[in-house]
Amino acid sequence: MFKPTRRDTLALGAGGLIAGLIGPNGFAGAAVGNTLTIAFNVNLPAFDPTVGPSAVNPTIQAIYRSVFDQFIAQKPNLAFEPGLLTAWGWSDDKKSIWMDVREGVTWHDGSPFTAEDVAWSLQRAGDAKTGNPIQFIWGTLGNFKTEGKRVTADAKQFDPALFKWMAFLTGYVLPKAYYEKVGAEGFEKKPIGTGPYMVDEYQGNAFLRLKANPKYWGGKPAFETVVFKFVTDATSRVAEIESGSSDLTLEIPYEEYDRLKAKKGLAGVATPISDIGMIFINNDANIPKDVRLAAHHAIDKQAIVKRLLRGYGVPIDTLQAPEYEAYDPTIKVGYDEKKAAALMKSAGFGPDKPYKTTIQTTRGLKPKDYEMIQAIVGMWRKIGIDAQIEVYEVAKHFELRTSHKLAPFAFYNWGNAIGDPSTSTGHAMFSMSPHSSWKTPDVDAKIGPLWGEPDEKKRIAGYKAAEKYIAEQGAVIPLLQYVQPIVFKAELKVTPNISGAMQPTLVKKA
């Protein structure tokens, strides 16, 4: 039986165009009324939260959680709590699972939510033909049965993180009858969920307008209308909040955060979140081990946090952030320029004979992401790594990562809202994962046995050992745990979400 626990721990012109499309409420510096306008940092490529690359984009979860409900919910502090499931667990022999479904819930079209929706959603998620990027997790379940509010299923293998996934990426319940009636294309045109908000209007690459669900089982939301304005340029998001065109924005440069939060009529909050900045390494590039290690040792992470991020960040050397369950502070790589230069020399390279490569990065997805990579490329140049910077949108990153075609080095923001090592180290480094850029048998040998390890202490220890080995091999370059800056009108009260998902339900009128 589950027992909840608390874890330790667009330019202004474009903005005017959007305002013309959706009306004046909440824009042009007006006081916050019944409309909450968010200048959001990514576009919404698709509405189905369970298929395609966008389903595993941590940032979009804020939108998905507004329209749909997850099997299991999470509080802003990452503690798990009942969602559309009120109770859940494993059988004593760990060969089957049981779930009790919340009663009295309705879909946005007024039809009743039932146990059949849960069983169908899980069965669909486990079908490889559906295109769920986490199918290898959901596909371990089968033989679903429903009786009243109880759903049972057989498990092909024990997965210690299964129920955690039900609160994470692709862990959403969709409407069986409605989806089968309208199909995938019809669902994209008119999606419905059981969530706190219903889709009102959507203009791709421009905005999404939601209206409150008056029959939401969790209580009617604070705002009648929520508008997500898709403003992927950080400078434009600053202009949105400073002009009053938006009520809230996030992921802006930290110097702008410090400036704006001090302005009359504005406030801000910045908190460490479960996202980490990292550099994937594509093993297909055959980068020599000494060059990989040199690339890591040459990065002065403390200087990056202090100078570029104004202290808003926590340097890390593994894929585990301090709030994650398998975080091991004893695993250190460290900044050592002399050691990095020696490693480059041993590999036959140096400033006079540089190792030429490419590094990809987003620009404006996270505060100072491009500038951070510029700084790293400068640090690399000192020891003989000549890296060309290639800018891409995060959607392109997902496309390239899934097809194992990332550049030799590729910056990414990895979110792990459930803090389990399998959802960071496991999925980022295991070759069978579509999210891995490093695919080698030695790393697989470290991670493989841990997927179904029933002894939790042994499993966590195993991931710590895998992290140590990965650090020694220079198979990935973790950089820092992010601090998320949020700026909003002072008339609002915002509860930061450690998962990084800035959900409208976490915003109230002060």
Amino acid at 462: G
Q: What is the mean pLDDT of residues 166-182?
A: 98
* Structure-token pair, residue 45: 């490529």
What's the half-sphere exposure (Cβ side, CA atoms, 13 Å) at 94?
A: 11
Domains of the chain: 10-48+196-510 (3.10.105.10), 69-181 (3.90.76.10)
| Statement: residue 451 has pLDDT above 80 | yes
What is the reported pLDDT for 53? 85
Q: Strand 248-250 to strand 35-40: parallel, antiparallel, or no bridges (unpaired)?
A: parallel
Q: What is the mean pLDDT of residues 479-506?
A: 96
What is the reported pLDDT for 23? 40
State the chain's mean pLDDT as an integer: 92
Q: What is the pLDDT of residues 336-349, one digit of tens each?
A: 999 999 999 999 99
Q: What is the mean pLDDT of residues 465-470?
A: 98
User: What are the backbone dihedrals phi and psi of residue 96, each rounded to the nearest 5 degrees, phi first?
Assistant: -150, 165
What is the reported pLDDT for 8? 34
Classify the C-alpha dihedral 496-47-67-2 as positive or negative: negative
What is the reported pLDDT for 11? 32
Q: What percent of the chain has pLDDT over 90?
A: 88
What is the reported pLDDT for 4? 34
| Statement: residue 12 has pLDDT above 60 | no
pLDDT tier at 16 (50, 70, 90 boundaries)? very low
What is the reported pLDDT for 25? 38
Specify whether the CB–CB gap between 323 and 78 falls below 8 A.
Answer: yes
Q: What single string gives the DSSP state of each residue in 267-303?
A: EEEEEEEEEEEEEEE-GGG---HHHHHHHHHT--HHH
Q: What is the mean pLDDT of residues 138-157?
A: 97
Q: What is the mean pLDDT of residues 379-397?
A: 95
Q: What is the pLDDT of residues 196-227, one digit of tens each?
A: 999 999 999 999 999 999 999 999 999 999 99
Q: What is the pLDDT of residues 32-87, one digit of tens each?
A: 789 999 999 999 999 999 999 889 888 899 999 999 999 999 999 999 999 999 99
What is the reported pLDDT for 10? 29
pTM of the model: 0.83
Residue, of 364 and 478, whose pLDDT is higher: 478
